[in-house]
Amino acid sequence: MPTYRFTLNGSPVTIDSPSDLRVLWVLRDLLGVNGPKYGCGLDECRACTCHVDGRAFATCSTPVSEIDGHDITTIEGLAATVPGAGPGTLHPVQQAWLEHDVPQCGFCQPGQIMMTAALLAQVPEPTDDQIDQIRNVCRCGTYFRIREAIKRAAELMARDRSDG
Ligand code: FES
Ligand code: FES
C-alpha cells in the first residue's frame, strides 16, 4: 500500500492508504478528524469541504493521492490559521457565524464555514452574486443567515487588516 505525507492542520501526517481512498475517509476513518461531513459523496452538497493549500475542495471526491505533499486544513484547524492565534481564538468567519446564530442542525456548517473562509481569502469584499456562487447545500435552509454572516465576516476581516 502506498505511503502519503501531507500537513494536516499544521502537523505532519504520514499514512499508508490505497491511492484511490477519498480524502474524506482518510480524515474521518484513518485520522479521526470528524469536522468534515459526508452528505452526498458526489461533489454536490459540499458538506465535506476542507482546504488544500488554502483553496476549498470536496474531500469526498478527491483521492488521497492528490493531496500528497500538500497542506490540508479542516474546520478543526481553521482558527489556528489566524495570525497570532492562541487558545480561544476564532476565525472571523466562525465569529460571524456565532454573531448571526447561523447553524440549525449544524450538519452542513463546517463545509459552509470552510467554503466562506476560502472565498474571503480570495475575494475580501464579495458581491451578492459572488456569494451566490457558493453552492453548499443546507437542508435546514439557513441560507439567509449564511449570507448575513458572510458579509459580517468580510467586515471583521477588513477591520483586522486595517488594525494590522
Ligand atoms: S459529501 Fe462531498 S460534496 Fe457532498
Ligand atoms: S444547518 Fe442543518 S443542514 Fe445546514
- The count of domains in the chain is 2
Q: Are residues 58 and 90 in the same domain?
A: no
pLDDT at 43: 97
**Cβ atoms < 10 Å from Cβ of 30:** 14
91 close to 79: Cβ distance less than 8 angstroms: yes
Assess whether the C-beta atom of 45 lies below 6 angstroms from ligand 1.
Answer: yes
Residues 69 and 99 in one domain: no
The residue-averaged pLDDT of 30-41 equals 98
- CATH code of residue 110: 1.10.150.120
Q: What is the pLDDT of residues 137-154, one digit of tens each?
A: 999 999 999 999 999 999
For residue 164, pLDDT beyond 90? no
pLDDT score for 110:
98
- Per cent of the chain over pLDDT 90 is 96
Cβ 60 under 6 angstroms from ligand 1: yes
Q: What is the CATH number of the domain that holds 7?
A: 3.10.20.30
Q: Are residues 73 and 144 in the same domain?
A: no
pLDDT at residue 163 in the model: 81
Q: Is the CB of 137 under 6 A from ligand 1?
A: no
Structural domain for 121, as ranges? 83-163
Question: Exposed, middle or buried, 109 (CB in 10 Å: 0-12/13-18/19+)?
Answer: buried
| 113/95 Cα distance (integer angstroms) | 10
Which triple of cell numbers denotes residue 81? 490559521
Same domain, 58 and 109: no
- Cβ(139) – ligand 1 distance below 6 Å: no
Q: Is 38 in the pocket of ligand 1 (CB under 6 A)?
A: yes
Which pLDDT belongs to residue 114? 98
Instruction: Compute, in angstroms, the gap from residue 90 CA to the centroid of ligand 1.
Output: 25
Nearest alpha carbon to residue 81 among 111, 29, 118: 118
* Cα 118 to ligand 2 centroid, rounded to whole Å: 19
Mean pLDDT over residues 69-89, rounded? 96
* Helix axes 109-122 and 143-163, enclosed angle (nearest 10): 40
Q: What is the C-alpha to C-alpha distance for residues 130 and 97, in angstroms, rounded to an integer?
A: 19
pLDDT tens profile 81-127: 999 999 999 999 999 999 999 999 999 999 999 999 999 999 999 99
Residues 60 and 116 in one domain: no
pLDDT of residue 100: 98
Of the CA atoms within 13 Å of residue 118, those in its CB half-sphere come to 23
Is the CB of 46 within 6 Å of ligand 1? yes
Atom 4 in ligand 2: residue holding the nearest Cα: 138
Regarding whether 98 and 53 lie in a shared domain, the answer is no
71 and 90 share one domain: no
Same domain, 87 and 150: yes
Mean pLDDT within 37-52:
98
Distance of CA 158 from the midpoint of ligand 2 (Å): 27
Question: Which of 35, 52, 77 is the C-terminal boundary of a domain?
Answer: 77
Q: Counting ligands in written order, which one lies closest to the CA of residue 113?
A: 2
Q: Are 8 and 71 in contact (CB under 8 A)?
A: no
Q: Taking Cα atoms as reference points, which of 99, 102, 101, 80 lies closest to residue 91?
A: 80
Query: Do 88 and 157 sit in the same domain of this protein?
Result: yes
Point out the domain boundary residue: 51, 77, 103: 77
Q: Computed over its alpha carbons, how large is the radius of gyration of the chain?
A: 16
Q: Are residues 106 and 159 in the same domain?
A: yes
Q: Please indicate, yes or no, whether residues 71 and 142 belong to a single structural domain of this protein.
A: no
Give bridge partners of residue 113 from the DSSP assignment: none
DSSP 132-152: HT-----TT--HHHHHHHHHH
Do 93 and 143 share a domain, yes or no? yes
For the whole prediction, is pTM greater than 0.85?
yes
